[in-house]
Chain A
């Protein structure tokens, strides 16, 4: 195999695929990137057996062929190369020589035949969707994914298609984020799948601000094709719980608040959060919201901001991290906080189909 490639193109492609490579793997081949050269150009693939990413890039192919090379190492070499043109040659023992200006590298690889093949898609439901729309929806929900591995069905984003709607949900049992997007799907595509965390993060990396992507779903796998990339992931098997059970009914009170201002205030006050309770107090009263933290060993912090609220005085305690997470990932200027009382869950909303349920902490003393 022999080819010539532009450094920046190669570097960017390696960056996009190398995150899949697992740090600690018992199979050495899984640390490697599969490089295949044919008359159309170069194709790079990485996999951890759950998530596989393939990326096509243009290259000047002299001799077609294939090999695998350590992904991380190759990426760091390419990043440091001095000139923009790279000459690549691999011999039959899978030893690659990389030449760039005065630099010369020899990297030992493994035969491409050892690289696992990705299962074929059959009877997949296929549809296309706007990249930006999916990217936004994932950003608004993915921070709420549970990291508790004992609850594996929650270790991903639940993705429901049906009733002219795309619904994305993530929860860890203490908060829940949901996006409901009106979307017309071809009939017969109704389905519900759980996309695992890693695939969600990789997909977010690939999604752009414009263009569409093609989604293919089977019972056990999902494929996402966009631009020159193709991401295939195993799905989490199991039933996602009926999350609607924890979405509270009608709220009694609505607070309107500027997102940035609230985020900054919570961030500051949370510097003095009590480590034991890990909660900060929100006091809503007559168009004012006062946020306070009190840690007996450290001290206290308080900040008050203007909001729109005309209900009775209400004191609720929340985990500050749980309040900040949606605020960081939304882009609207204004958010609404719907409250029932001190002990019922609060709901963060915006003027788009999104909601975020957050459980209040118990206020002692």
Chain B
């Protein structure tokens, strides 16, 4: 269906171009509306101008103009949009008397010759015909498409962790719709999925400035959809997404559990796939692990290429931070960076945070910051981020210390306010800082897992409501971070330390929900 109309060379007349364009659109319209309907209403219409993103059609009479505008405007416009990406609206004017038509022709001719003299874009010569994509234009179009300027291919630091993703991104940007359909990135948060998505968008726009690129998060897609339902404007919603040349969707895991949305997305996906348009998706987990995602979508997501982005290795981390340092013009030595990347692993956001912290401390202190001081500066970042190394006993001890109670009491049944709060905070911290499961945590305290869920929820809520609790939690976290050297490993812990006090397993648990 989609056959781009070749744009005329300089020596070709605009008139010819309009004629050819109308011919192509006519064919599409006949397929869409049926020949009899087309002949009845549209056969005497002429395409007279393409002007400022607007298609101007000449109707054989004012009633035809009104009737066709009311009944077929959207349809006609959508067929033009397939060929002229810029085209935003359509206008119908009327040839009333032949005299007027003549006058019009004269005026157009005159305007044309004048414009040719001044070598400007005439109103009869659509912008798209002479478009030379300037950087500025690409930038504008990119921002309109929802792309973020800082995420380009140029400042992406590829490494062994993202080899496959990087290669696929470049291939897709170079030839959208021809290589991997769809391209599906997944990785834990902060490893560069979004960066690659935006990068593909920018690169694709650079190569094909007129293509229609859309970047949205799945949540934005959902909001658009809901909005369209409310305003009863699903047509324009569908038009927006189903006519994209390159659709980039971030955080598709958000689609999970939303059946209506999945259905809409399914159709959008199929439509674009049918038209061989490129779809690129990013998720924080593999398609199969997205909760309650319809089977047909899972299979479609796996259809093309799935590229997992791993945590960057030491060298890549260092490369990323050096790159950032140079981009941001920071006075941080290579040694300091090495010291950071040794301690902070994984998440690029945490790396950046650590770099900023170090740079900040370095500029604020009068004495020069020595590389060996770096670990102290970033202590909380590395420990909390890499919390696997902290054990339950460690956390319990810190909590007990903070609340000034015995560690054993946390495992007991005493439920005075202070002990209960300490116990809940301990559960919360273990849950958030370690990988222990609910059941493991519950067993350790001699409670059931419902109690743990309740405790976690309660502390979270209290952190939001009361600054005091929040401070307490933060304080303990920091304490844990500093004491990170005497870490009890998870393995040894789970092997040796089963619940210590469970004297009354049948006891009524009032803390549970």
Contacts and interface: CB of A to CB of B under 8 A. Distances in A.
Interface of A: 151, 154, 171-174, 239, 241-246, 248, 275-276, 341, 343-344, 359, 362
B36 A245 contact: no
A343 B67 contact: no
B438 interface: no
Contacts of A151: 66
A191 B96 CA distance: 21
A282 B231 CA distance: 27
Contacts of B71: 173-174, 359
B34 to A, nearest CB: 5
B276 to A, nearest CB: 23
A330 B234 CA distance: 35
Contacts of A276: 232, 234-235
A246 B63 contact: yes
A173 B66 contact: yes
Contacts of B63: 241-246
B97 interface: no
Contacts of A246: 63-64, 67
B70 interface: yes
B61 interface: yes
Contact of B37 (A172, A242, A245, A344): A344
B37 A343 contact: yes
5 contacts: A154-B66, A241-B63, A243-B63, A246-B67, A344-B36
B61 A245 contact: yes
A154 B36 CA distance: 27
B69 interface: yes
A139 B64 CA distance: 26
A243 B61 CA distance: 10
B62 interface: yes
Nearest to A297: B260
B62 A343 contact: no
A173 B34 contact: no
Contacts of B61: 241-242, 245
Given A242-B62, A276-B232, A343 B70 contact: no
Interface residues of B, number: 18
A173 B37 contact: no
Contacts of A173: 66-67, 69-71
Given A173-B71, A341-B36, A343-B34, A241 B62 contact: yes
Nearest 5 pairs of A and B residues by beta carbon: A173-B70, A241-B62, A241-B63, A343-B37, A245-B63
A108 to B, nearest CB: 45
B405 interface: no
A239 B94 CA distance: 13
B149 to A, nearest CB: 37
Contacts of B235: 276
Given A174-B71, A275-B232, A276-B234, A241 B37 contact: no
A80 B252 CA distance: 65
A248 B64 CA distance: 13
B508 interface: no
B33 interface: yes
A21 to B, nearest CB: 32
B497 interface: no
Contacts of A359: 67, 71
A151 B73 CA distance: 15
Interface string B17-38: 0000000000000000110110
Contacts of B70: 172-174
- Residue with the highest number of chain A CB atoms closer than 10 Å, among B36, B63, B234: B63
B298 to A, nearest CB: 23
Given A173-B67, A341-B36, A344-B36, 13 more contacts: A173-B66, A241-B61, A241-B65, A242-B61, A242-B62, A243-B63, A246-B63, A248-B40, A275-B232, A276-B232, A276-B234, A343-B34, A344-B40
Contact of A343 (B33, B69, B232, B234): B33
Contacts of B66: 151, 154, 171, 173, 241
Nearest to A341: B36
A60 B269 CA distance: 80
A245 B67 CA distance: 10
B366 to A, nearest CB: 68
Interface in B447-484: none
A248 B39 CA distance: 13
B64 A245 contact: yes
Contacts of B65: 241
A327 B66 CA distance: 24
Nearest to A343: B37
Contacts of B67: 173, 245-246, 359
A256 B232 CA distance: 35
A109 B277 CA distance: 70
A241 B67 CA distance: 10
B75 to A, nearest CB: 8
Interface in B32-52: 33-34, 36-37, 40
A244 B40 CA distance: 14
Contacts of A362: 33
Nearest to A275: B232
Contacts of A341: 36
Nearest to B34: A343
A147 to B, nearest CB: 12
Contacts of A171: 66
B64 A343 contact: no
A239 B36 contact: no
Nearest to A278: B232
Contacts of B40: 248, 344
A54 to B, nearest CB: 35
A245 B68 CA distance: 12
Interface string B141-185: 000000000000000000000000000000000000000000000
Contacts of A154: 66
B133 to A, nearest CB: 36
A275 B62 CA distance: 31
B476 to A, nearest CB: 50
Interface string B51-91: 00000000001111111011100000000000000000000
Nearest to B71: A359
Contacts of A343: 33-34, 36-37
A174 B66 CA distance: 9
A239 B61 CA distance: 12
A151 B70 CA distance: 11
Nearest to B94: A241
A173 B73 CA distance: 12
Contacts of A344: 36-37, 40
A312 to B, nearest CB: 15
